[in-house]
Structure 1
Amino acid sequence: MLIRFQSGSVRLLQGRELTNSKLQLDALDGLRGLAVFLVFLSHTSLRGDNLIPYADFSGFGKSGVFLFFVLSAFLLTKPFLIRNAEEITLRFIVNYGFRRFLRIYPLYVIYLAVALVLTAVVPELFGNKSRAYPLPLDFSGYFRHLILQEGRGVTWSIPVEFSYYFLLPLIALTYSLLLKNRIVPCTIFTLLLIFVSQYFWPQAESLVNDIRVRSYLPIFFLGSFLAVLHHQTTSGEMVWSKESKTLIEASGIAAILLLFLMIPTVTSLFVEGGVSNNIFHKQFIIYGVLWSVVLYASICGRGWLQRFFELRLVRYFGFISFSFYLFHAPVLDLIYSQVDVPGVLYPWLVLLICVAFSHVSWILLEKPLSRMKLKS
């Protein structure tokens, strides 16, 4: 499959497919692409084969998922902040839920249905020892996944994110209608939310791949608050000087460097005896803060980070990120178990297959559904 990015070719990057055109920020598509690529790099490294020679990203995939959480909270909070009380109607709320459902569930249902069928078919065709793809699933597990009560493999993040969709309108409306998007009250409210969530559900007590949103609330709260900060910036309430924008940009670059140091193999260079690859998996607040700084710098800084994340190839991975995220793990399993190629080629072969599949999924399913909304 040939995907051309030049003007006049496949217009994958032209419309405003993922967000309202009035709220579109192209750099965020690129950040979404970075998020899914970090997950992919981590999972290939865990297989013992690095996509980039000597670049071992084992254990850093969670960071990419946490970036997804920040992005979702930011993007979905924004529409609530630009509307007055009269515009927050029942139809607006229902349309919000309808679009969230269409963004996640159609592809998710297909993914689970494939797992359900192949769990029964693969052992019959290839023997009982053959693995099920994309994950072993019976009817009970299928139903539990659909109602967000279970999340195996990479699907653990879906109950987390979808659960926050229910809470987000309350948070966003508190910011906009009660606190009038004022920075100081919104900051205090956000810090209070984080404190309360940590008091009742400390991040250190979260489970591995915990499907309960409570464990990750600080990340989402920070993303939603960032929407308030950006709203104040774009509405003219906060005006940054050139020097301030330089400082914001520098903060974003510094946050990226700190995130780089949190790659376990990099951290191990500075710690005698090394560290385990899950050492930072429960540092939700740190990840939330750092990724929020990167996000804000990418849209409100001097434009250096913004130009990178607006590159068409980087944005492209953002468009196909959901299907890529879902299907990269089973493709990894399948290729590594059934295909015999030199080790260095495995991650590249998986990448090509995942891109091709995700491209088709985006064009045929996700892109058409992203344009649907309830009529006024």
Structure 2
Amino acid sequence: MEKVNEPKNDSEISIEMEEIDNIDIKSETDEDDDLNIEIPRPVLKKTFWQKMTSSFKTIQEETKSKIPLLFESKKLEETQLEKISTKETSEFKRFNFLDGFRGILAIVVLISHAKTNEKCELITFFHKIAHTGGVYGFFVLSAFLLTYKLLNEMNSKSNFKAKIWSIFKYFIRRFFRIYIVFFIIVTGIKFGPKILGGLFNYDETKFNYASWSNLLLLKNPGVNHLWTIAPEIKYYFFIPLFCLIANTMGKYDMILLIVSILLSIFNEVFNFFGLKSLDFYAHMTEYLYIRFSIFFYGSIAGLFLVIIERHEKITNFLKTFLVQFFLNFITVILAVYGFKHINPVMVLEGSNASRIWASFILLAALGNENLIVVRFFSNKFLTNCGKYSFGIYLLHPIFVQIALQYFHFELQFDSVVIIFLMTYFASFIFYYLLESNCIKLANMLIKGIEKWSRKDLPTS
């Protein structure tokens, strides 16, 4: 007869539960390292997710070496671009007053060409300083800014190919910013309505334009306001060479600075090129060597500023109150003297004026925003004149002729005001229709080349 299991009493059930609890289930549990307590089966779900998370992290670490983290690299690139943009913005704000200085120079040239009689002493004075207080200031300022910017960009690159690419970008920007605009203006003057040549097309006894090919090939331009373009564009080719030498010399570029200053001084004393006063007139304007020293002082100032900014102790010293007080005083004197300075000896006129302007620009750049000259030239009106200065320079002869032909003013001052207002308005349109688009085309071309050959163009 089969034995039937009798029901267990409470003591037997308790013994069996203790036996179950003593079963080794370590293989199915995890340990808490801090408390050293075995975790029973119900917590196994959490352990599973911990294992999954750990596995995912392992896979991610293994994948990093094979697949680039695109989002992280993109974020890093954006951060770098933001730093570059911030640096460029700060430099723009720092040199913003130089736009105002450029604006004054453009106004001086405009007034000098608008003069028709001796009735107004102020206008007669502007006419006398058209070169020293106008054109030569343009030459020095252009050389300073281009040298300073290119040298800083090259110094920020450790790769030689990247430095060469900086030079190529420099040439692309100069070509579109200056030569393309110049090409359009010259073509309009030679093949468009006569008025596009301005007063230089109407008084052939004094003025004339050379042939279209001569103008574009930067040969003798004739007797007109375009004579400044040829030597300036030719000097553009010297700036990269100067910057490359300075960059190659590294921390020894101070030697280049000293040698450059000494050569400039000796050139004034010994006249290396054998220049004569007659060489500075219309038939020789296209030759760079005649006015090379004028541009070169601007490049010397640019190199000097780069060297100073490299030494933190010097820059901190220059920020002190006494130094800034001195800079405030001396820059005002240089500005006044620069505009009033007239040297009857043509050979020395340019070098003297350029030395004054180079010193003024360098010292003003070392000052802070509280300098009198910085505040004066930061005036919105003057900075706008500087922004549109290329248009003012190229277009003002048109409106001088219009004023002479269609207006009859008792006072010459009234005529100059009307000419300036018409020129300013036209230059505003000229800038946004032509100049700004040429700048955009240059930047688009640079970006296109960089995108097309990104692997071959180092960025550092």
State the TM-score, normalized to the length of structure 2: 0.66
The structural deviation recorded for 1:201 is 4.3
3-state SS of paired residue (2:344): coil
Higher RCO (C-alpha under 8 Å, 6+ residues apart): 1
Q: Which residue of 1 aligns with 2:273?
A: 200
Rounded Cα–Cα distance in structure 2 between residues aligned with 1:44 and 1:162: 26
Matched, 1:170 2:245: no
What corresponds to 1:325 in structure 2? 393
Partners of 2:140 and 2:298 within 8 A in 1: yes
Alignment match, 1:227: 302
Corresponding letter in the other structure for 1:96: Y
CA shift, 1:47, in A, is 4.4
Contact 2:403 2:415 in 1 (8 A): yes
Q: Partner amino acid for 1:253?
A: V
Matching residue within 138, 147, 160 for 1:68? 138
Give the aligned partner of residue 410 of structure 2: 342
Contact 2:273 2:289 (8 Å CA) reproduced = no
Percent identity, aligned pairs only, is 23
SS at match of 1:199: coil
Structure 1 residues 370 and 49, CA gap change in structure 2 (3 angstroms) = farther
2:334 maps to what in 1? 255
**Contact 1:23/1:78 (8 A) holds in 2:** no
In the aligned structure 1, how far is the partner of 2:259 from the partner of 2:360? 22
Task: Find the partner of 1:188 among 259, 279, 300.
Answer: 259
Residues 161-182 of structure 1: per-residue CA shift (max 9 Å, x gap): 0000011111122222225364
Matched, 1:214 2:283: no
Query: Which AA in structure 1 matches 2:236?
Result: Y
Aligned equivalents of 1:105, 1:342: Cα separation in 2: 39
Residues 150 and 166 of structure 2 are in contact (CA less than 8 Å); yes or no, is this contact kept in structure 1? no
What is the alpha-carbon distance in structure 2 between the residues aligned to residue 360 and residue 186 of structure 1?
41
Q: What does the per-residue CA deviation read over 1:145-194, in whole Å, with 9 as the maximum and x for residues that have no partner?
A: 00101223110000010000011111122222225364354122342256
Cα–Cα, structure 1 residues 172 and 145, in superposed 2: closer, same or farther, change >3 Å? same
Q: Does 1:365 align with 2:422?
A: no
List alignment gaps of at least 5 residues for structure 2: 1-86, 451-460
Q: d(CA) in 1 for partners of 2:195 and 2:106?
A: 30
Counterpart of 2:188 (choices 108, 111, 114) is 114
Q: Which runs of 5+ in 1 are unaligned?
A: 1-18, 123-128, 264-277
SS at structure 2 position matched to 1:202: coil
* Counterpart contact for 2:97–2:378, Cα < 8 Å: yes
2:302–2:362 contact (8 Å) kept in structure 1: no
Q: 1:343 to 1:22 in 2, by over 3 A?
A: same
Give, in whole Å, the separation in 2 of the partners of 1:333 and 1:191.
45
Instruction: Give the match for residue 103 of structure 1.
Output: 177
Matched to 2:303, the amino acid is: V
Match of residue 314 from structure 1:
382
> Equivalent of 2:344, from 264, 269, 279?
279
**CA 1:181/1:75 → structure 2, altered by over 3 Å: closer, same or farther?**
farther
Q: TM-score, normalised by structure 1?
A: 0.79
Closer, same or farther: CA 81–312 of 1 in aligned 2, 3 Å: same
2:298 is aligned with 1:298: no
The 2-side partners of 1:206 and 1:228 are apart by 29
What is the SS of the residue equivalent to 1:149? coil
- Cα deviation for residue 38 of structure 1 reads 1.4
Matched residue type, 2:309: T
Worse-matched range after superposition: 223-232 or 88-97: 88-97
**What's the counterpart of residue 167 of structure 2?**
93
Distance 1:189 1:96 in 2: 23
- Closer, same or farther in 2 for the Cα pair 1:130/1:185, shift >3 Å? closer
Give 1:305 deviation, angstroms: 1.1
Shift of residue 119 of structure 1? 6.5
Rounded to whole Å, the distance in 1 between the matches of 2:288 and 2:311 is 34
Kindly state the Cα deviation for residue 44 of structure 1 after the two structures are TM-superposed.
2.6
Larger radius of gyration: 2
